[in-house]
Amino acid sequence: MKKPIAKEKTKKKTLKKAVKNATTTKKKLVASKARKSVKKKKLPVRTIKKKKRPAQTVKTRTKQAAEKPQRLTVVDGTRKVPVPLVVEPYPKDYTGLPFLTLIQFRKQPMLVVVDNVDSELIKAYVLDLCGPERVDEEQVILAASEWYAENRSNYPVSIEFTRRGMTSATARIYRTFDVEFVSRVIGPVPEFPMNTIKSIKRRRRKAVPQGVEVNMHGSNVIPLDQYFTT
């Protein structure tokens, strides 16, 4: 009777081992399924809201204005009144051409023939530019000398150049100079008021009074034979 008891014990042990193995395999399967399900589940994407930064004001560097010569005087601490341009005469020992003018513009001297001047600008023909611009300097000086001798008080030298057909050539040496940057002027500076507008007075039309006879002609012109007889 001992042998069957031993067989039953061995059967029980094998059953217990099988149950343990089954439980461990179940646990492993459950764990693997859980991992797979975790992998399959997509995590929600978190949208990060960017905070809008206040617009920063960019400080642009303003170009420093060119230093102007000290030709401005302060009146009452509030207004700035420009000093009028002082024109110096020729020195006593000067024996050159009488229509040439020396202008010192931005500390640079220039030999010019002044065309016209006003309260803001000096308009002139620069003789120093005749060489670089390929302009016949002798022809310019000849025309300017004849203009100065005959018509310097009637019209500017630019009109003399146009009369001689020299406009295209002299336009290349024509320059304008801001009076505020001119520190010295020696020689003649002709001034012609070219921008003045003359006012014309016009009479108003008056109505013809009653009782006055009006003779209407074909062209509204009274024939001369009514006034002149042969």
SS3 191: coil
> Based on the domain organization, do 96 and 173 belong to the same domain?
yes
Amino acid making up residue 206: K
Kindly state whether residue 47 falls inside one of the protein's structural domains. Answer: no
In sequence order, what are the beta bridge partners of 112?
101, 126
pLDDT tens digits, 139-194: 999 999 999 999 999 999 999 999 999 999 999 999 999 999 999 999 999 998 87
Cα separation of 228 and 218, whole Å? 20
Residues 92 and 182 in one domain: yes
Q: Position of tokens 């006034």?
A: 227
Domain that holds residue 92: 88-186
Q: pTM of whole model > 0.85?
A: no
Tell me: the pLDDT tens digits for 120-132? 899 999 999 999 9
* Assigned domain for 62 exists: no
Beta strands in the chain (DSSP E): 72-75, 79-82, 87-88, 101-105, 108-117, 121-126, 174-178, 182-186
User: 221 lies in a domain?
Assistant: no
Q: How far apart are CA 74 and CA 59, in angstroms?
A: 31
177 and 102 part of one domain: yes
Residue 197 inside a domain? The answer is no
Number of domains comprising the chain:
2
In a domain, 81, yes or no: no
